[in-house]
Amino acid sequence: MAADRQQSGLITRREAILRVSAVFGGAAIVGQSVMLAGCAAQPASETGKANGGALFRQSDIELLDEVADTILPETSTPGAKAAGVGPFIAMMVDDVYNENDQQIFIAGIKDLQSRCLRRYGAHFQIVTAAQQLDLLERLDAEQHQYMESRDDDAPAHYFRMLKELTLLGYFTSEIGYTQAMRYVETPGRYDPCVPYTNGEKSWAPHA
């Protein structure tokens, strides 16, 4: 699917990052909570989530992988699926989110799948790359409108949560750190003015 998307010219790495990060005021989320880079979710069984509970089934993990890979697809560097972002999202929702946000998120991914079935007659994992992107763009427009008009104490839209976790999971993964960004394991001298050309990979922050 990633190869088809790349050949069709639907999206580039730079376009993907700009599209998904614009709502967060740029890529500000990238580089935060980098201590999570070492966290790795174990594969989920069909009867439960990665660490043995009941929030996510394997089919949910596959859906999260496909959604994340549509947001950050493979281009010149591996995409979100290759970075293991689907299991990461499941782990974060299960281990970090409060119960109310968990319920919103779980209901949300069910809603995403239901919309895909109604609109395209098939699950998100098997519709075309163009259909996947179309659905996510519709959801993105919806969450933009919701987030701008919601009350201060109202919960975030589930697609907002999903996008944030996709960014966090990808850019704290080994692939994100060492291939999508430029990483130096042991920084040298402090240089506040490193030359940078627009479009180049950004520097990976250190924990």
Q: What integer pLDDT is reported at residue 23 of this predicted model?
A: 39
Q: What integer pLDDT is reported at residue 181 of this predicted model?
A: 63
Q: What integer pLDDT is reported at residue 38 of this predicted model?
A: 36
* Residue 137 forms part of a structural domain: yes
**pLDDT averaged per 10 residues, the chain (length 207):** 44 48 39 34 41 74 95 86 92 91 95 97 95 95 92 91 90 74 65 70 61
* Environment class of 180 (CB within 10 Å of its CB; exposed 0-12, middle 13-18, buried 19+): buried
Question: Into how many domains does the chain fold?
Answer: 1
Q: What integer pLDDT is reported at residue 183 of this predicted model?
A: 66
Q: What integer pLDDT is reported at residue 140 of this predicted model?
A: 93
Q: What integer pLDDT is reported at residue 30 of this predicted model?
A: 32
What is d(CA 152, CA 172) in angstroms, rounded to the nearest whole number? 29
Note whether 167 and 24 are within 8 A (CB). Answer: yes
- Distance set, CA 35 to CA 29, 31, 32, 47, 197 (Å): 13, 9, 8, 29, 28
* Residue 76 forms part of a structural domain: yes
* Residue 194 forms part of a structural domain: no
* Residue 203 forms part of a structural domain: no
* Residue 174 forms part of a structural domain: yes
If you write DSSP's letter for every residue of 138-198 in order, what string do you get? HHHHHHHHHHHHS-TTSPPPHHHHHHHHHHHHHHTSHHIIIIISB--SS--S--S-----T
Q: Is the dihedral of CA 75, 170, 132, 14 positive or negative?
A: negative
* Environment class of 116 (CB within 10 Å of its CB; exposed 0-12, middle 13-18, buried 19+): buried
What are phi and psi for residue 201, nearest 5 degrees? -65, 140
Q: What integer pLDDT is reported at residue 174 of this predicted model?
A: 75
Q: What integer pLDDT is reported at residue 69 of this predicted model?
A: 94
What is d(CA 4, CA 24) in angstroms, rounded to the nearest whole number? 28
Q: What integer pLDDT is reported at residue 2 of this predicted model?
A: 43
Q: What own/partner pairs with CB < 8 Å and gap ≥ 24 does 73-79 have? A: 73/2, 73/5, 73/6, 73/11, 73/16, 73/129, 74/2, 74/3, 74/5, 74/6, 75/6, 75/11, 75/12, 75/13, 75/16, 76/13, 77/13, 77/175, 77/179, 77/180, 78/175, 78/179, 79/2
| Domain around 85 | 2-180
* Residue 202 forms part of a structural domain: no
* Residue 204 forms part of a structural domain: no
Q: What integer pLDDT is reported at residue 195 of this predicted model?
A: 73
* Residue 143 forms part of a structural domain: yes
